[in-house]
Structures are given as structure tokens and as C-alpha cells.
Structure 1
Amino acid sequence: MHLVACLFFAVVLCSGRDVIAGGLATREEALAAAFPGAQIKPETIFLTGQQIKEAAALAGVPIPSALVARYQAFLNGKLVGRAYVDTHVVRTKKESLLIVLDEYGAVRRIEVTAFLEPPEYQASSQWYAQYKGKVLNNDLNLQRAIRPLAGATLTAVAANQAVRRALAIDRVLER
């Protein structure tokens, strides 16, 4: 069964459509909604060992890979925001989040582009909306600035860690 789930996830990612049953947006749709009319510049970044250490210290959680998928959005030649893809394991299966930041590095929105756990463990868009305007600080944690998620604690923990990673990586890259 695990092999089937892994193969399904690989097919979905390679197809260019990150839609899983449940009507999730593709990465392209999420970027277009986050940055209407903007030109999107995709980047693949390899963090140095020092950047990984700095980002992990800022985030308070490990940075599992030096490979970072980042998108920069430009409107009329002006940077209007950035977005990061964070794929992680929630309980036993993967979730991919597109974490969209404004030009100053605050969370603009979060889109779930893949969720392979049972649907009852998926957080609602209203739950993700509480991150809007948040920046990386000690309050960006569950039971502080972020409400917990009843019945889906592991999803909430994984999502919060993903947001902290994206904000920390962004801060390190934008220095």
C-alpha cells in the first residue's frame, strides 16, 4: 500500500498537476491566485551548509534539504512577493504547501497543493488564513499566535513547521 501511495504521489508531481482528490489547486493556479497578473519566475536554489544552519536556528526546526523551490512574482518589473514549496510528512503521508509571502517577507497566504493523508486530517482554508500577515517570531507557534487544530494536531504541527521553515529560508536568502 505504501508503494502505491508513493507511486501516486510521484505521478501527480511529475504530471505538473498537484491536484489530489478534494479539489486542491495546482501550484500554477495557486500562484496565479496569489499574484494576479504578475510574471512568475521559478527558481531552484541550493542552500549552503551555513545557510541551512542559519535557517534551522531561525525556524527552530530542521531544514531537511538544501534544495529549495522558490517563485518570485513581479508586476510591472517590481517584486511583489515570493512563494516557497514545502513538502513534508504529516503522519505517514505527504502534504505540499505553497507558502506565499509578500515583498516584505510576511505570510500572504498558504495553499495546499497536495494532501495524501485521509481528508479528515486536512486543515481548512480558514485555519490557514490565520497566518496572513504573520512574520517569523517566537509567537508563530501553536497555542500562541496560531490556533491548534482539533482532530488534526499532526497536520497543524507539520504546517506550522513548514511556515516557519519558509519564513526562515526567506530571511536567510533575502539578507
Structure 2
Amino acid sequence: MRVLTVLVLIVLVFASPADLNAKVFYAKEEAIRAAFPEADAIEKQTLFLTDDQKKQVETLARTQLDSNLVTMYVGRRGGKLLGYAVIDMHTVRTLPEAVMVVLSPDGRVASTLILAFYEPLDYLPPERWLKQFDQARLTPDLRVGGRIAGITGATLTARAMTESVRKVLALYQVLIAKGER
């Protein structure tokens, strides 16, 4: 019993508060499979945005991109396009969050999935809140306070998630809808 108590104390002393709150919901491969459950092929595409493309995406998304490098997953079944998925990592307040935004072939949001969340779980958006993004396109009202309701006590989470969705929709417009990839 004494050994167990000592081990628990060691974990509590050396574990950071972020580690105690951290929650990984999906591994990357598991999430990609969840994005396209009926796919017989999922292609990973690594895309390098030109400076002009990056600027276009940032203007459309109304937020900054961290890099010119984008990884997009394309799901297909029998050669038929099922959609696109992008995993976005960003900081919510002081800690990271990883989300996956899945788009239908016509560029609408098919689903959003939180892969990992390192802020306190009190700030984690509920599933029903994420459903607000379903079928969304990149429009001026796709923002917190517009089409997207805020989350009481988790405003930064709501804004970060909305920015991620806007980034992925902007990437679709610049790279796919305009045929620039």
C-alpha cells in the first residue's frame, strides 16, 4: 500500500496539469479511417502552397496558416471520390488541439472530429455543437456569433474550431475548386 501511495505521489508531482487534462480521442490512422469508413483507397497528398495561394487561403479563412505545407487525405471507393480530410493542429488558449475536418466532394463540411484536446476537458465542445458545421460552406456568416453559436465558458475553443473549419474550406476553394493543385 505504501509503494502504491508513493507511486501516485510521484505521478502527481511530475505530471504537468496539461498531462492530467490531456485527452487523445483518436490516433491519426483511426481518424482517417473514420473519415472514410466505406473507402477502399485513401490517398495522402502533401501539398505545398505558393505564397500567393497561402495569402488567398488566409484571406478567405480570415486567419493565418502556420505553414505552406498541407497534408490532405482523399478517400475513394471504386475510383469514385468520397471526399477530403485535413487534420489541423492549433493552440486553443495555451495548449494544443488536433481536429479533423472532412469535406464532401462538393466542398461542404461532412464532419468534424476532435482528435486530441489538451486544454481542460471542461472546455471541450460537445458533439451536438460540432454538428453546426455539417453541410457548411465558406460564407461570411460561418463565424462564432453568426451561423455558429458560442460555447458558454469556452469561447476560445469555439473560435479555434471555427477557424480550423474556415481554413479547410478555404484550402478547398483555393486548391480544389479553382483546380490549382
The bucket for the TM-score relative to the shorter chain is 0.7 to 0.9
Q: Which consecutive residues of structure 1, in runs of 5 or more, have no partner in the other structure?
A: 9-19
Aligned to 1:153: 155
1:102-137 Cα offsets, whole Å, 9 max, x none, are: 001100001111111111111112111110000001
Listed as ranges, the gaps of 5+ residues in structure 2 are 1-14
Please, which of 34, 43, 46 is the counterpart of residue 45 of structure 2?
A: 43
Higher Cα Rg: structure 1 or 2?
A: 2
Match of 1:24 in 2: 25
Task: Tell me the matched-pair count.
Answer: 158
Report the Cα offset of residue 84 of structure 1.
0.7
| Alpha-carbon shift at residue 75 of structure 1 (Å) | 0.9
Could you list the runs of 4 or more consecutive aligned residues of structure 1 that deviate by over 6 angstroms after TM superposition?
none
Contact 1:68-1:85 at 8 Å conserved across structures: no
CA-atom RMSD in angstroms: 1.5
| 1:16 match | none
Residues 125-164 of structure 1, C-alpha deviations (whole Å, 9 max, x = no match): 2111110000001010111111111111000011111110
Confirm or deny: 8 A CA contact 2:35 2:85 kept in the other structure: no
Identity of aligned residues (%): 38
Q: Deviations over 1:53-94 (max 9, x none)?
A: 111111111122111111000111011100011100000010
Normalised to the residue count of structure 2, the TM-score between the two structures is 0.82
Give the Cα–Cα distance (whole angstroms) in 2 for the partners of residues 151 and 69 of structure 1: 32
Q: Distance in 1 between matches of 2:75 and 2:59?
A: 27
Find the residue that maps to 1:147 and give its secondary structure. Answer: coil
Equivalent runs, 1:84-95 vs 2, <5 Å = 84-95=86-97
Tell me which of 98, 121, 135 is aligned to 1:119.
121
Deviations 1:3-37 (A, max 9, x none): x87xx7xxxxxxxxxxx53x612222222222122
